[in-house]
Amino acid sequence: FVLLTGDIGTGKTTVCRCFLEQIPAHCNVAYIFNPKLTVNELLRSICDEFGVPHVPAVPGMETAKDCIDPLNAFLLDAHAQGRSNVLVIDEAQNLAPEVLEQLRLLTNLETSERKLLQIILIGQPELRDMVADPSLEQLAQRVIARFHLDALSQEETKQYIAHRLHVAGLRGPAPFSRRAVERVHALARGVPRRINLLCDRALLGAYASGSQMVSERIVQRAAQEVFAQPKTTRAAATSAAARRWGLAAAAGVVVGAAAMAGVHWLAGGIDRPLARGEAPEAARAVGVAPAGAAAASASRAAGAASGVNAAAAAASAPASAASAAAGSQATLSPALQQFIGGQAADEFAAWRALAQAWGSDVPPGAQPCAALASASLRCYRTRRASLDLLQQLDRPVLLTLRPTPAGEQNDASAGDEAADGVTAVLLHLDSGFATLSGAGQTLRVPQSELTQVWHGHMATLWRTPPGLPDGGVVTDAPGALSWLDRQLVSKAAGGTGAPRERMTPELRRDSIQRFQRAQGLEPDGRAGPLTLMQLNRAVGVNEPRLRDGA
């Protein structure tokens, strides 16, 4: 067996399609894309895919044996002819345990040299949990390779956008400012499918507003359309203007998409497109998108524009942006301006102060996240946090403070280091006030004033479960998994308090989703950093709290 897993939208099916397109001539391939089948239905589907005739011994009463016998004969005959047989099952997380066991039995047919049937299972991360179940230990021992598609890093996101534009025909710098790319990465969480949707809408919004550069603000508005995000107060104030240029976007969407892909844009965006034949690391793993993909995407967007405000991603006029910036600076207290001005550009001191709040330290010159791993601490970063999230997490955090409002038209100035902001520690948050610390200073400011200089960039620490190795995930560490199961059934986490004799992957996922809903988190059923932070908080793990740092 070979396992290929990845979160939704990370490119599993693309990898599968690329693999199928490159199958050698001596291979027979069966591809199952809808595995929600019984054992008999799956066996019939495999026979049909391989072109193996199967006739029930008793008319109208087909059994598993009626498919297995001719399938075995087919595999032996193919081996005699020097041919290989590969079974690919997509969405394999939907396979029932009894179906997985039947697949294992199919691999029992072998020669002294090799198995006669190779099976590739492709699915979401829960597939790994299923295979790790003790009841499927025999199957797990036959897995010879495991691959997991992670989300793209910020640098890979930048390369991916440049690659897609290059495939679409762009020759020149990509029309995304540096901060726009950072925002795309944050909002799309590095997931290629979400990146595609967000960039497509952002390009349309930029065209509708007559802008030759996609800014951070355009990306933010595009996200409100594509991902149905709740509008912020500032976004709501500009919604009327967004509706006014919606008609222009609908009328020019196809022309705009073509123009954005074909014009040599002004400097200040992504450095360059990839050279012909060159692909980013992630693209090399999944193959090159066909050149017609961009045209098809533009066509789909054109159809959607007639029903929605496709231009909800446009930027405000530069004059308005300058006015807003001036107004923002005018409302900052001298104390906050002085505090920001007194912070060092290097964030190491802030990380060290945060570590000390957790009873740890970062040696000089060390990389904070790597150094703190030995103390069972991990870093968590996001660029889209809110005050509500900070209160929910209830722990000291690092905030990036920047006086200039996020997403203004000048955010393409990649060379302006000061525009990146300074880092301070948030120690306390209550009663409408926030307590900041940095460079030997402590300042208490109204939360309304904090939101003028903080635009969602946040980092914090969380304590890992016992038995979780550095860089590991809970589902792959038996000790951490046992701890997780015990906490999920505890009354503190909303459970019954009675331990379960056997926690199956399905029960575990249901328990995690129940806890996530109770905590106001996205109920994805995965024990990710936010879920584990809230679980630590619920069961009383010793961690510093915002309420403790007066």
Give tens-digit pLDDT for 123-137: 998 898 888 888 888
- What is the rounded CA–CA span in Å between residue 19 and residue 14? 8
Looking at residue 420, what is its pLDDT?
Answer: 60
Decide: 118 and 85 in contact? Cβ < 8 Å. Answer: yes
Tell which wins on pLDDT, 456 or 405. Answer: 456
Closest CA to 189 of 529, 535, 537, 534: 529
42, 249, 268, 359, 405 from 418: Cα distances, Å: 60, 35, 16, 31, 13
- In this predicted structure, the answer to whether residue 257 has a pLDDT above a threshold of 80 is no
Looking at residue 501, what is its pLDDT?
Answer: 67
Average pLDDT over residues 49-74: 88
> Tell me: the pLDDT tens digits for 283-292?
333 333 333 3
What band does 498 get if pLDDT is binned at 50, 70 and 90?
confident
- What is the rounded CA–CA span in Å between residue 451 and residue 494? 33
Which range is least confidently modeled, 83-92, 148-157, 513-522? 513-522
Looking at residue 432, what is its pLDDT?
Answer: 82
Looking at residue 472, what is its pLDDT?
Answer: 60
- In this predicted structure, the answer to whether residue 451 has a pLDDT above a threshold of 60 is yes
Which range is least confidently modeled, 69-78, 247-256, 436-445, 476-485? 247-256
- In this predicted structure, the answer to whether residue 64 has a pLDDT above a threshold of 70 is yes
Average pLDDT over residues 381-389: 86
Average pLDDT over residues 406-432: 61
- In this predicted structure, the answer to whether residue 244 has a pLDDT above a threshold of 80 is no
* Domain residue spans of the chain: 2-149, 154-316, 325-463, 474-543
Asked if the domains at 325-463 and 474-543 fall in one CATH topology, the answer is no
Which range is least confidently modeled, 18-27, 85-94, 256-265? 256-265
- In this predicted structure, the answer to whether residue 310 has a pLDDT above a threshold of 90 is no
**DSSP code at position 27:** E
Closest CA to 160 of 124, 199, 125, 187: 199
Closest CA to 17 of 406, 285, 282: 285
Q: Which helix or strand (DSSP H or E) is residue 408 part of? A: none
Strand spans (E) along 439-502: 441-446, 454-463
Average pLDDT over residues 436-453: 89
Looking at residue 5, what is its pLDDT?
Answer: 92
Tell which wins on pLDDT, 68 or 413. Answer: 68
What band does 202 get if pLDDT is binned at 50, 70 and 90?
very high
Looking at residue 199, what is its pLDDT?
Answer: 95
Take residue 508 and report the two structure tokens written for it: 């575990």
Looking at residue 160, what is its pLDDT?
Answer: 92
Gyration radius of the chain's alpha carbons: 27
Looking at residue 23, what is its pLDDT?
Answer: 83
Looking at residue 169, what is its pLDDT?
Answer: 84
- In this predicted structure, the answer to whether residue 234 has a pLDDT above a threshold of 70 is no
- What is the rounded CA–CA span in Å between residue 269 and residue 178? 6
| 447 CB-contact burial (10 Å; exposed 0-12 / middle 13-18 / buried 19+) | middle
Percent of the chain with pLDDT over 70: 76
Please spell the DSSP secondary structure of 62-82, one letter per residue: --HHHHHHHHHHHHHHHHHTT
Tell which wins on pLDDT, 238 or 515. Answer: 515
Fold of 325-463: Cathepsin B; Chain A (3.90.70)
What's the whole-number average pLDDT of the chain?
77
Which range is least confidently modeled, 33-47, 289-303, 319-333, 386-400? 289-303
Tell which wins on pLDDT, 443 or 244. Answer: 443
Closest CA to 352 of 338, 339, 336, 367: 367
CATH 3.40.50.300 fits 2-149, yes or no: yes
Tell which wins on pLDDT, 408 or 155. Answer: 155
Residue 355: Cβ within 10 Å count: 18
CATH for 474-543? 1.10.101
Tell which wins on pLDDT, 264 or 358. Answer: 358
Average pLDDT over residues 348-364: 92
What band does 352 get if pLDDT is binned at 50, 70 and 90?
very high
How far is C-alpha 42 from the geometric centre of its chain's CA atoms? Answer: 32
**DSSP code at position 128:** H
Closest CA to 224 of 237, 210, 207, 211: 237
Looking at residue 323, what is its pLDDT?
Answer: 37
- In this predicted structure, the answer to whether residue 431 has a pLDDT above a threshold of 80 is no
pTM score above 0.85: no
> Tell me: the pLDDT tens digits for 116-126?
999 999 999 88
What band does 182 get if pLDDT is binned at 50, 70 and 90?
very high
Decide: 458 and 385 in contact? Cβ < 8 Å. Answer: yes
What band does 404 get if pLDDT is binned at 50, 70 and 90?
low
Please work out, in degrees rounded to the nearest 5, the angle formed at the alpha carbon of residue 155 by the alpha carbons of 363 and 19. Answer: 125
Take residue 132 and report the two structure tokens written for it: 């790790």
**DSSP code at position 110:** B
The string over 454-482, giving b where at least 16 C-beta atoms fall within 10 Å of a residue's C-beta and e elsewhere, is bbbbbbbbbbbbeebeeeebbbebeebbe
Looking at residue 325, what is its pLDDT?
Answer: 37
